[in-house]
Structure 1
Amino acid sequence: MNAQTEKFLIDGPVGKIEVALDRTDAADKAPRGIAFVAHPHPLFGGTMDNKVAQTLARTFVQLGYTTYRSNFRGVGQTAGEHDNGIGEQDDLLALIDHMRAQPGQEDVPLVLAGFSFGTFVLSHVAKRLVESGKSIERMVFAGTAASRWEVAPVPESTLVIHGEVDETVPISSVYDWARPQELPVVVIPGGEHFFHRKLHVLKRIIVDAWR
């Protein structure tokens, strides 16, 4: 992603998890929190270096967050086999525990951001965090995979962004998921699933939401 990206391995429930860490450039002030970005479906080429995942990470670094990404099971140097988003939840909870254990990150705000399959996994991770009494500052979902998996309900502050002409996840399915929650959906006109030529718009929406 950039010259400052640190990559390392941590211990997970079924072996090593490959992690990428990006720190903010502001040496004169403490990060405003920590953020985690979840990537798209690993069986369809999704990795933590996916361009949408990288855009989300870059955006949160710019907003002042220490930002983590990780590869799901069976991707890169992460151990294990694809587990349909079930074991992947356990892996992400282990990574969040690792993030929290770092000096200065024990009690800072936590942001969770996902793209496509990553939104499905993170929705259930967030549910488990809240049920265990742990707080989340905010969530950002891009290309919410509501037509393909059972995405759990999310906090009302969640920022949901979708492409108008998403060919992988029809926007109507996102409306059907969001409607019972009275959850607004921000639509990018002309945007498709991978936000081709619309990544700058995706970034702008998030930055504006944080102002």
Structure 2
Amino acid sequence: MPEVIFAGPEGRLEGRYHPSDDPAAPCALILSPHPKAGGHMDHRIPVAMYEQYKRRGFSVLRFNFRGIGRSMGVYDNGQGELQDAAYALDWMQSFNQNAPFSWVSGYSFGAWIGMQLLMRRPEVAGFISMSLPTNTYDFAFLAPCPASGLVTYGTNDSIVPADDVDRVVEKIRVQKGTQISTHPIEGADHFYTNHLDITMDVIDDYLDEHLEDRYCPPREPRLLGFDG
């Protein structure tokens, strides 16, 4: 899990990068929760997402948004953080110029940033959005959504009510041939307390269904410490 520092729009950004052994492997970018709510790249959910793509042979990067850890800059209400994500994807792609496509996975605030990023980057072929903050941000920019993806949410989420996620996702238009799938996690809260392993299994099932067999290795026991 090499530590990396790369240029961002406001100075250096700090990340963790796993390069694939395959020079033609796809890429995955992992986006963290809200910087003002304790969000950082070593949060248990971004780490779980990172390990998920790593097992599948992707080149994968997670990083700290501006102002977090050793990343320079200050919080910018999402606009600057979207720029950070674009710079991060550029940096990773500079080392993976033969990558056939990229995926973006984000949690909460990071899911909102990821949905905006895929609207701007046609190489993003799919997304995973956990606890999408539909009651905080406007998703009208998805007009239409250009890639298929999965949205997971907890049925006991007191921060983003499950009904609100369903309401917003149902209204999102998608391009022909694409689909936004939703999967409620029964009993889970916004943080997937005691439900993270179950949720990652749901996401693995989705990835197995939508990726080629070579990116779908046999399941391994999950590392202890993700759930809690």
TM-score by length of 2: 0.82
Structure 1 residue 65: Cα displacement: 1.2
Q: Are 1:21 and 1:66, in contact at CA under 8 Å, matched by a contact in 2?
A: yes
Matched, 1:174 2:173: no
**Which of 8, 18, 21 is 1:12 aligned to?**
8
Q: Are 2:23 and 2:99, in contact at CA under 8 Å, matched by a contact in 1?
A: no
Q: List structure 1 runs of 4+ shifted beyond 3 angstroms.
A: 29-32, 104-107
Q: Are 1:164 and 1:192, in contact at CA under 8 Å, matched by a contact in 2?
A: yes
Following the alignment from structure 2 to structure 1, what is the Cα–Cα distance between the partners of residues 165 and 134?
6
- Tell me which amino acid in the other structure corresponds to 1:44: A
Following the alignment from structure 2 to structure 1, what is the Cα–Cα distance between the partners of residues 153 and 24?
28
Go from structure 1 to structure 2 and tell me whether the alpha carbon gap of 1:98 and 1:149 turns closer, same or farther (over 3 Å shift). Answer: same
Go from structure 1 to structure 2 and tell me whether the alpha carbon gap of 1:37 and 1:163 turns closer, same or farther (over 3 Å shift). Answer: same
Q: Are 1:36 and 1:113, in contact at CA under 8 Å, matched by a contact in 2?
A: yes
Secondary structure in structure 1 of the residue aligned to 2:29: strand
Q: Are 1:35 and 1:67, in contact at CA under 8 Å, matched by a contact in 2?
A: yes
Give the stretch that moved more between structures: 34-43 or 143-152: 143-152
2:56 matched to which residue of 1?
63
- Tell me which amino acid in the other structure corresponds to 2:168: W
Q: Are 1:160 and 1:185, in contact at CA under 8 Å, matched by a contact in 2?
A: yes
Structure 1 residue 30: Cα displacement: 5.4
Structure 1 residue 156: Cα displacement: 5.2
1:197 matched to which residue of 2?
194
2:100 matched to which residue of 1?
108
Go from structure 1 to structure 2 and tell me whether the alpha carbon gap of 1:32 and 1:206 turns closer, same or farther (over 3 Å shift). Answer: farther
Following the alignment from structure 2 to structure 1, what is the Cα–Cα distance between the partners of residues 4 and 27?
17
Following the alignment from structure 2 to structure 1, what is the Cα–Cα distance between the partners of residues 110 and 165?
15
1:82 matched to which residue of 2?
75
Secondary structure in structure 1 of the residue aligned to 2:30: strand
TM-score by length of 1: 0.88
Structure 1 residue 90: Cα displacement: 1.1
